[in-house]
Amino acid sequence: MRKLEVTSFHIKRTVAAVIGGVLLGTSPLPAAAISILNPGLEDPEMPNVFNTSFSGVHGIGTGVPGWSSNEPDSGGSIRVDYWYLGRTGNNVLYLHGTENQNFYTANFDLGVALQSYTTYTLTFDVIRWVGVTENDYVQFRAGIYTGASYEERSSLAEISGLFYLLDDQNNAVDAKTVTLNFTTGEVPLDTKFWIGGDALGNSADGHRAHFDNFSLVAQVIPEPSSVELGLAGIIAFGWTFSRTSKRRRLDA
């Protein structure tokens, strides 16, 4: 009898170890930040001027490091001390008010390919233009994209339209953070991947979008095959344990 009790204890401990190993093997890995060059528009190499376009100061000279545009003379970085109370540092990213003026990070893909079975979280601040923003909203489209080219992009996660700079009690705020999440399935190798955005017919400065403090985090999740394998292992072990227990009872 004593020997049977010890054997049962060892079997239970083995089952626990198997389950623990499966859970460990199928748990998400720690989140890792993906580097965005000049995420707060504060690169020290930028000219210390009021208005720096993507291609340089009004199209001449150094532009905004890490950022580019399909209309490089339009939009860019504004360096100003008091108009944008919600910003970090002096600079914010701005877009002019046409649908054709887009922004995106250099090389489109942030230096990495879109990975399979990975959750991406993009955050950025939307900033009030103090004394100019009307009716507490700005209008834009921004998000995480993929596709053969920026013009042919498809949205993975996106925010679009009117964005109100209000808190939960509808009080005006100087800045508000947007968080976008997207989880991939199986992704072909070398899939293009970038963040970007557009103004949406913002001809009136009162609704022009301004941004700051971009970050992108990736977290690898278990592939479905790993989870299925782990569950199959537990079921198989449980079936073997059940048959062994029955055989012992019959032998007794």
- Mean pLDDT for the stretch of residues 37-63: 82
User: Which of 48-62, 171-185, 186-200 has the largest mean confidence?
Assistant: 171-185
Mean pLDDT of 166-182: 95
The whole-number pLDDT of residue 41 equals 87
Closest C-alpha among 148, 222, 210 to residue 183: 222
Alpha helix segments (H runs only) across the chain:
2-25, 224-251
**Mean pLDDT, residues 13-24:** 46
CA dihedral 96, 91, 197, 213 (to 10 degrees): -160
Encoded tokens for 114? 């879109």
Angle value at C-alpha 121, between 117 and 127, nearest 5 degrees = 160
- Which structure tokens are listed for 119? 């959750």
Whether residue 1 is predicted with pLDDT greater than 60 in this model: the reply is no
pLDDT mean over 118-143: 91
Q: 197: closest CA among 137, 128, 138, 148?
A: 138
Q: For the CA atoms of 224, 230, 233, 237, what is the dihedral angle to 10 degrees?
A: -140
Q: Which range has highest mean pLDDT (13-22, 29-38, 108-117, 130-139)?
A: 130-139
Summarize the confidence of residues 101-111 as an average pLDDT: 56
Residue carrying the six token digits 């970038």:
194
Distances (CA, A) of 198 to 116, 130, 141, 201, 223: 27, 21, 5, 9, 34
- Please give the share of the chain, as a percent, with pLDDT higher than 70: 69
- In DSSP notation, 77-131 reads EEE-SSS-TT-SSSEEEE--SSTT-EEEETTTTTTSPPPSSEEEEEEEEEE--TT
Tell me which DSSP letter residue 190 carries. Answer: T
> Which residues, including other chains, have CB under 8 Å from residue 58's CB and lie 6 or more apart?
51, 73
Burial of 70 (0-12, 13-18, 19+ CB in 10 A): middle
Query: In residues, how long is the chain?
Result: 252
pLDDT of residue 24: 45
Strand, coil or helix: 228: helix
Q: What pLDDT, on a 0 to 100 scale, did the predictor assign at position 4?
A: 43
Please state the pTM of the whole predicted model.
0.76
What pLDDT band is residue 16 in, cutting at 50, 70 and 90? very low
- Tens of pLDDT along 232-246? 444 544 545 455 555
